[in-house]
Structure 1
Amino acid sequence: MRSNYILMMIVLAFFMSCENKAPHIEDVICGGNFRYWYKQGAPNRYHYFDVNGRKENFCISRSGEFMEILMPDFEMSTTWKPINDSTIIMYYDIEYHVKIINKETIVLNDDTLHVLKDYKYIPKDYQKLLGDDIVTGGFGKQNRIIK
């Protein structure tokens, strides 16, 4: 009887040690700090995600300038948050279902994002996250606080 108990404990310990240690969705999306992604259908359009739940949209203009996408008549949501490992909320509480996610690709509903590996087009000011920049991230002139 005692040997069965010990055997069960060994088997249980084995299965617990083999638990899948897949990264959480937020670690993949923001890379532990911040990360830029680009749309497959619009490679000059960038999505910025950071660990504070901030999301911004940028593009490279026809003149080659890296700029934030602003719509004066429409206030865009600048937040994101994961609900679980298959759903994130962006753009005013709209749920996006994550069909595929790995360190290189995210497929959301019908939108495919690819991680940006080369930051040569992104000015250094837009890559800050520490100190005072934790609120604005260097994006825009107004302070945006995530609640």
Structure 2
Amino acid sequence: MMIFNKPVLFFFLTLWALGSFIAQAQQFNGYINSDFSGIIGVRDQPAMVANSPYKFDFSLVNGNFYLANDIAVLSRSDEGGLGLVRQESFQERYAMGNTSLGGISALLSLSRNRGIAFQYKVRAMANGTDVSPNFIYQINRFNSP
């Protein structure tokens, strides 16, 4: 039987405790990049600049947005229409939104796995945690006649 001394045991317990938290890995919609994604894929993998199959790549504008919440969900009616249905409970809720807009971006491949690229990006993010049910009710009451 192996017995750990206190510093080693403390190290492993600390590593276990700190490694147990959930980490959000990305701030954009999930998609898979390849070498053929050009200048758009450089944000996720900067090494794509050096190994791009294109001589040049140019993007005028690009964008991305998402909204995540546990306040309301999309629901399809029997007639096929979509609508928002509010989650009824007395628990605190959250809402999060992210928007990014990219401007002129360019990539130029040089010889022997070299390249140069530049990008322009503006990003805005909003986050609301611990939103009380009373606040949600106050917003919703203005929609009623």
> Into which bin does the TM-score normalised by the smaller protein fall?
under 0.3
Higher relative contact order (CA 8 A, sep 6+): 2
TM-score, length-scaled by structure 1: 0.26
TM-score, length-scaled by structure 2: 0.27
As a proportion of its length, which structure holds more strand?
Answer: 2
The structure having more radius of gyration, on CA atoms, is 2
